[in-house]
Structure 1
């Protein structure tokens, strides 16, 4: 890859504790660094697996973790504010989530998801930590709850953003950042690329959501943090930016949002 030595990217959302990477996590991280990806945020999806999420973060000074329960995970420990606050009492746990709303498959009832979302909002408020928000087929309800969060002084990120400009603007008005995944590289996503062109530089993040949603030219393959570079390249191209400038912008935003200092 060209320019690798000159860039430092942050993958603001990945799941490298998932079993998609058996016995090769060290190689996945090494490849990310070879591609210029310095920081990784490993995201919690259920409390049963939180110890592994935290352990991955503890294994590397530039990997961090969150504490939370995915909105559409059923038959898992239901989070409470006190439990999320207690799990977050660790220097490597820098955010709350992922939380949000996912009405696509309805594995968890919508009203239960809303209660779960508000639990995460309150934990984030008490901790002063950012919220990682997932939204699928639930745009209006998600925006309403993001606004509630903003009114309580909670900021965060709309992860794997795939909505329209009005949704992005509403989230940013509430104090949230917008993170683009490999979807922005897909041929059938011209509207999303238009959103990527419009988001102000100081609200922009990039991510993989690995092992899901590998960008072109790896669409359909197992995603990994190294591939956030392809997403960054496409976003930079759409915005008329040099890759190095886009990397510096998004990494600065990542560090600022999660209250981190460059290592």
Structure 2
């Protein structure tokens, strides 16, 4: 019983075989998936998938790399979609200083607008942070993001940053990098995150876990991530699966659904 909290089954890498990918995930024990839309085409596809499969939910928002493209009309559309019964969060939003398509000031403006929208519609947020740790934390603090809480997606910060995010009502989610042989930091951080605030994800088709590193990732591989963190915490895998699934369902308010 696993919940992959961050998948991109809505991108072109899955155009040819998404049904088979979903079936493999179900056979691997993945009971629920959260498809993340991050621009107009992927948001539309995320909604389509959520409407097609009972066990798939959608998150809608605007990626920081493309922040320069987001219009006020896009923001209004996201607000409309927030009331869809299968939309469980807003995002992924945040800051990405690895790519230079969108200037940092525009990224921050779009990030702040989406946090404020999430507070308005009362949904948690999914945070993308790449090479922008300090600024991401600062924006979250300044915008009082603890009012919504959410997920630090594919967390890449250190234990100190994790503690700040936990204080702000965020869950810490880990993906494929925690399985990489040379990835010391994510293992250390994952081992220290409280069990009631940890989540797992694949971020497929990206960041496939060992031994599939460099290949297309898919939701069935989330078991490899879960097993590694369970090992780090000295837990039985099944117990870890149950706890992380309960965490996700609590965050997304699915406990009664």
Q: Which residue of 1 aligns with 2:60?
A: 67
Quick one: structure 1 residues 30 and 48, their matched pair in 2 at CA, closer, same or farther if it must change by over 3 Å? closer
Q: CA deviation at 1:81?
A: 4.5
- Asked if structure 2 preserves the Cα contact closer than 8 Å seen for 1:42 and 1:65, the reply is yes
Q: Residue deviations 1:179-216, cap 9 Å, x none?
A: 00000001121121010010000100000000000001
Aligned with 1:176 (options 170, 175, 193):
170
- Asked if structure 1 preserves the Cα contact closer than 8 Å seen for 2:200 and 2:244, the reply is yes
- What are the within-5 Å matches in structure 2 for residues 1-263 of structure 1? 8-73=1-66, 76-78=69-71, 81-150=75-144, 153-261=147-255
Quick one: structure 1 residues 152 and 222, their matched pair in 2 at CA, closer, same or farther if it must change by over 3 Å? closer
Q: In structure 2, the residue corresponding to 1:73 is in which secondary structure?
A: helix
- Asked if structure 1 preserves the Cα contact closer than 8 Å seen for 2:68 and 2:107, the reply is no
* Partner Cα separation in structure 2 for residue 96 and residue 112 of structure 1: 18
Quick one: structure 1 residues 96 and 69, their matched pair in 2 at CA, closer, same or farther if it must change by over 3 Å? same
Structure 2 unaligned residues grouped into runs of 5+: none
Q: CA deviation at 1:166?
A: 0.6
* Partner Cα separation in structure 2 for residue 78 and residue 97 of structure 1: 16
Q: Residue deviations 1:57-106, cap 9 Å, x none?
A: 11111100011010002663435653321121210011000000001112
Q: Residue deviations 1:2-31, cap 9 Å, x none?
A: xxxxxx000000100111012211111110
**TM-score, length of structure 1 as denominator length:** 0.93
Q: In structure 1, the residue corresponding to 2:102 is in which secondary structure?
A: coil
Q: CA deviation at 1:162?
A: 1.2
Q: CA deviation at 1:261?
A: 2.8
Q: In structure 1, the residue corresponding to 2:142 is in which secondary structure?
A: helix
Q: Residue deviations 1:211-259, cap 9 Å, x none?
A: 0000011111100001011000000000101111110010000000011
- Asked if structure 1 preserves the Cα contact closer than 8 Å seen for 2:6 and 2:203, the reply is yes
* Partner Cα separation in structure 1 for residue 105 and residue 200 of structure 2: 30
Q: CA deviation at 1:150?
A: 3.7
**TM-score, length of structure 2 as denominator length:** 0.96
Q: CA deviation at 1:144?
A: 0.8
Runs of 4 or more consecutive aligned structure 1 residues displaced over 6 Å after TM superposition: none
* Partner Cα separation in structure 2 for residue 246 and residue 215 of structure 1: 18
- Asked if structure 1 preserves the Cα contact closer than 8 Å seen for 2:3 and 2:30, the reply is yes
